[in-house]
């Protein structure tokens, strides 16, 4: 089978297309014949070494396709089932072995491309708006990278809940995208003072929650955009990891809350995976959330896909197609 692997960490140039023997599922695992693979920013952290992985490694944690084979003791799936998954690593390949508790059946009307573009990002959005800070109708939230993979889903979900959404984007083109997704207000964070604009928009009240996947470059602006007892949900490091922060800083900005979640601390078993996925698929099938596929690349062009996502110019989800 074809797979994209790294033997060393570094830039996109370390991604190599190789031939590997097809894997076999072990106990509690399924073998998925891939139809679409989702690209996530965390893949670049594994590639660069920010999040260390054992080398050599096939990257990727999200995809969708058809169950080809099941291992011993598998009870959730059978060959021929259509599935989507969010798992560990190994997705950049024609076939991927997935723990059965990290996969779900795809409902009618949800294609493999939609699922591959939505599983990890959609489960992250579900975690953010329903669990980390359960967003309520009428509350105002700040969403960074509002036109990106997670952000585009997050904005739509927040609007479906009835929240007021302030989106932060990096270009005029993305302003139009963010508004089309449902943002009530859009801030160009490269040219505007985000916190000052938030205070202006909210009548100096600040937002109840800031969903920040950018990290180092946006952290201070997120803190100062929050209202009293607001929460900063820092869920990504697109601009680099956030430096250490003194707890007293949170007190000085209004007795704030800070959390740094990862999705698999909120989805720890098959029951939680099914519940989160059901909420995601319901949002998609109802039309509340449209999964925007911004770019598609053949698997062999994974390097170009990484260059695209790191450029900061993409919108929606990026797919690799085997």
User: 306, 283 in Cβ contact below 8 A?
Assistant: no
Same domain? 244 vs 272? no
Over residues 124-142, the mean pLDDT reads 97
Give me the pLDDT at residue 252, please: 95
Residues found in the chain: 322
User: 125, 157 in Cβ contact below 8 A?
Assistant: yes
Closest by CA position to 289, among listed 136, 166, 114, 145: 114
Helix axes 112-127, 149-161, angle to 10 degrees: 60
Same domain? 270 vs 302? yes
80 found inside a domain: yes
79 found inside a domain: yes
Over residues 180-188, the mean pLDDT reads 97
Same domain? 32 vs 89? yes
**Alpha carbons 262 and 259: distance in angstroms, whole number:** 10
The backbone torsions φ and ψ at residue 126, rounded to the nearest 5 degrees and listed phi first, read: -60, -45
Final residue of a domain: which of 235, 260, 285?
A: 260
- Report the domain count for the chain: 2
**Alpha carbons 172 and 178: distance in angstroms, whole number:** 10
47-69, pLDDT tens digit by residue?
A: 999 889 999 999 999 999 999 99
Cα dihedral value 241, 243, 247, 251, nearest 10: -90
Same domain? 314 vs 248? no
User: H/E element holding 298?
Assistant: strand 293-298
Give me the pLDDT at residue 312, please: 78
The backbone torsions φ and ψ at residue 94, rounded to the nearest 5 degrees and listed phi first, read: -65, -35
Closest by CA position to 232, among listed 220, 217, 241: 220
Q: Would the pLDDT of 315 be above 80?
A: no
226-280, pLDDT tens digit by residue?
A: 999 999 999 988 888 899 999 999 999 999 999 999 999 999 999 999 999 999 9
Considering only CA atoms, give the Rg of the chain: 19
CATH number of the domain encompassing residue 56? 3.90.180.10
Encoding tokens for residue 291? 């999964």
Q: Would the pLDDT of 23 be above 80?
A: yes
The backbone torsions φ and ψ at residue 17, rounded to the nearest 5 degrees and listed phi first, read: -85, 125
Q: Would the pLDDT of 115 be above 90?
A: yes
Over residues 9-35, the mean pLDDT reads 96
Whether the predicted model's global pTM rises above the 0.75 cut: yes
Higher local confidence (pLDDT), 148 or 88? 148
Q: Would the pLDDT of 44 be above 90?
A: yes
Domain of 193? Answer: 137-260
């Amino acid at each position: 089978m074809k797979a994209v692997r790294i033997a060393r960490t570094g830039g996109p140039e370390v991604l190599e297309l190789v031939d590997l023997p097809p894997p076999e599922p072990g106990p509690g695992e399924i073998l998925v014949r891939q139809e679409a693979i989702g690209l996530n920013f965390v893949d670049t952290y594994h590639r660069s070494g920010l999040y260390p992985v054992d080398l050599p490694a096939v990257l990727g944690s999200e995809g969708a396709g058809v169950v080809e084979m099941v291992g011993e003791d598998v009870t959730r799936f059978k060959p021929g089932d259509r599935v989507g998954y969010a798992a560990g690593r190994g997705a950049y390949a024609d076939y991927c072995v997935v723990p059965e508790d990290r996969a779900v059946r795809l409902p009618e009307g949800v294609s493999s491309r939609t699922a591959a573009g939505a599983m990890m990002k959609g489960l992250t959005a579900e975690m953010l708006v329903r669990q980390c800070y359960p967003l309520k109708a009428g509350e105002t939230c700040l969403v960074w990278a509002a036109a990106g993979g997670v952000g585009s889903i997050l904005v739509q979900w927040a609007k479906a809940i009835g929240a007021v959404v302030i989106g932060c984007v990096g270009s005029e083109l993305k302003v139009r995208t963010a508004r089309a997704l449902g943002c009530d207000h859009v801030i160009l964070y490269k040219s505007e003072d985000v916190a000052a604009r938030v205070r202006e928009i909210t009548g100096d009240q600040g937002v109840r929650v800031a969903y920040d996947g950018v990290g180092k470059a946006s952290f201070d602006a997120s803190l100062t955009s929050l209202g009293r007892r607001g929460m900063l949900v820092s869920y990504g490091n697109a601009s680099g990891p956030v430096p250490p922060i003194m707890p007293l800083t949170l007190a000085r900005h209004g007795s704030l809350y800070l959390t740094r979640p990862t999705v698999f601390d909120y989805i720890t078993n098959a029951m939680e995976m099914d519940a989160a996925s059901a909420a995601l698929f319901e949002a998609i099938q109802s039309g509340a959330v449209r999964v925007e596929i911004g770019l598609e690349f053949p698997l062999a062009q994974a390097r170009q896909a990484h260059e695209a996502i790191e450029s900061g110019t993409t919108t929606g989800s990026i797919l690799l197609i085997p």
